[in-house]
Chain A
Amino acid sequence: MAKKGTVTELSSLFPAEEAQKASRRVQDEIAERRRQLDQLQGFLDDNSNLINLVWKLPDETHHNIMVPFGKAAFFPGRMTNPNKFLVLLGESYFAERSAKQTVEILERRSNTLETQIDSLNAIIDDLKLEASFFDNTARESAEGLVEIREDYIEEVPSGTSPNSGKKSDSVPLLEVDNGKAAIEDEEYAHIFSRMTELEKEEEEAEEANGSDQDEQIQNEQDQSVGRDSTDQEVRNIPIVTREAPVISKEGASHGDYHPHSSAVVKKDFKLPQEEKIGSPLPASNTVKKDFELPQDEKIGSPLPARNTVKKDFELPQDEKIGSPLPASNTAFTGSIVEHAHNIGMHAPQQQARGSKPVSRFKMQRK
């Protein structure tokens, strides 16, 4: 419960030396690319010089030139036909072209060279970013930076709709107001009738099985069932324990209460119940707790946070207030839950009886 997050030293994940090594590698890569870039740039310059030359050659009808002969010798010569070029296209193919056509070819070449240079520049920029990232990591790890990880826990269970989530947050503070505002008359009436119905059932149940043992058993069942049970089920239990009237009012408003929060509430309630009853051993309490926690986690991510919160009694109370909203459905479910741990399909009435009496007793005792 107390475990909120983990703390990892950055240097254990990325040792400074390793990070530095990585950064050096990237630097090497950058240097390599730079060389390529320089080469390409050289080609481009040669190419533009050539273009200028080819442009100017046809200006005269002939040129006096020194013709290379072998590796070391030149002899004077005369260039005629300055408008006729043999252009190497590549793969040892040559084409006969005029000066103008030659320039076109050369320009196309310089275009491709430029695109290559651009892409190379982009690559170098990427690598620079990478290198600075590695440098930063190395520095941070050398400084002994620490990484803290904490699970993000939403206040509201993920299962409910966003609206409901908001509600739940606000609920603890202003439960009554919320409830009234939200209440629809129909719902209200419905709930009230439910409540009366339940009360009747409870009374019957009390008569039928007043013994503590029965209660205990039921309680235990509830708990076990609790994980699977929906929010509604959970709600019912808390409600019963608390003063019935208050709950009913508030309950009307919170039709959409979330399962998670309700589940949390449950825990608190149950534990007290057992103690009151007296029959359950201390051990049972602990066991229960364990069970419930896992459940919560299963149900949703938010639960773990709840558990911690629960410890303080106040929070649970708030939640209860907010949670109680036994819509008609809820009432049913609640009863089901108690017996339920087998399967929710039991006849609702029977279940209701069993569960209700228990809660009632608690209230009375309180």
Chain B
Amino acid sequence: MADIKALQRDLENKASDLQKLGRESSKNNEVRKKYTIQLGENELVLKELDLLNEDTNVYKLIGPVLVKQDLAEANANVRKRIEYISAELKRLDAIRQDLEEKENSKKEAVIKVQQRIQALQAGKGKA
């Protein structure tokens, strides 16, 4: 009896850990999605900036104000932004993999505990 209770507590802990991991990974996925969209947008901007003439006026909206910017500067800024986003995406990928591994091992642990509980209960039933 004591064994089974301990095991069940163990199972609950592990299950809640597993849920936490699932929440983390779904958050991770959301962030990833956002970054992927931003990456696409930045690439579009970069394409358009490349097509502009040297002397075109470029503005950046900062808060409520449009601030005039140098085309070269804007270009560099966008490039930097793309680099940053790509790096971020890579980092998120690594994190996601890590999370998946953790999740899998947790799942296995949970299943093991469940099996043990079942085995114990079956043994008790026979006895």
Q: Which residues of A contact B (CB under 8 A)?
A: 86, 89-97, 105, 108, 112
Contacts and interface: CB of A to CB of B under 8 A. Distances in A.
Contact of B56 (A90, A92, A97, A108): A97
Contacts of A90: 41-42, 44-45, 48
Given A89-B49, A91-B81, A96 B57 contact: yes
A94 B59 contact: yes
Interface of B: 38, 41-42, 44-45, 47-49, 52, 56-62, 66, 69, 74, 78, 81
A149 to B, nearest CB: 31
Contact of B48 (A86, A95, A96): A95
A94 B38 CA distance: 16
A91 B48 CA distance: 12
Contact of A95 (B42, B56, B62, B81): B56
B60 A93 contact: yes
A96 B58 CA distance: 6
The 9 A-B pairs at the shortest CB distance, nearest first, are namely A92-B61, A96-B57, A94-B59, A90-B45, A90-B41, A89-B45, A89-B48, A91-B45, A95-B58
Question: Helix, strand, loop or mixed for chain A's interface?
Answer: strand
A94 B42 contact: no
A309 B58 CA distance: 86
18 contacts: A86-B66, A89-B48, A89-B49, A90-B41, A90-B48, A91-B41, A93-B45, A93-B59, A93-B69, A93-B74, A93-B78, A95-B52, A95-B57, A95-B58, A95-B59, A96-B56, A105-B48, A108-B48
A94 B61 CA distance: 7
A89 B81 CA distance: 15
A91 B38 CA distance: 8
Given A95-B56, A97-B56, A112 B61 contact: no
A104 to B, nearest CB: 8
Given A91-B81, A92-B62, A112 B44 contact: yes
B60 A94 contact: yes
A90 B38 CA distance: 9
Contacts of B61: 92-94
A93 B41 contact: no
Nearest to A91: B45
A91 B35 CA distance: 13
A109 to B, nearest CB: 8
A112 B66 CA distance: 27
Given A91-B38, A92-B61, 12 more contacts: A86-B59, A90-B41, A90-B45, A91-B42, A91-B81, A93-B74, A93-B78, A94-B59, A95-B56, A96-B58, A96-B59, A108-B48
Contacts of B74: 93
A91 B57 CA distance: 16
Contacts of A112: 44
Nearest to A109: B44
A86 B66 CA distance: 11
Q: Among B41, B49, B59, find the residue whose CB has the most chain A CB atoms closer than 10 A.
A: B59
A21 B44 CA distance: 40
B45 A94 contact: no
Contacts of B60: 92-94
A328 B59 CA distance: 94
Q: Among B45, B56, B62, find the residue whose CB has the most chain A CB atoms closer than 10 A.
A: B45
Contacts of A96: 56-59
A94 B41 contact: no
B38 to A, nearest CB: 8
Contacts of A95: 48-49, 52, 56-59
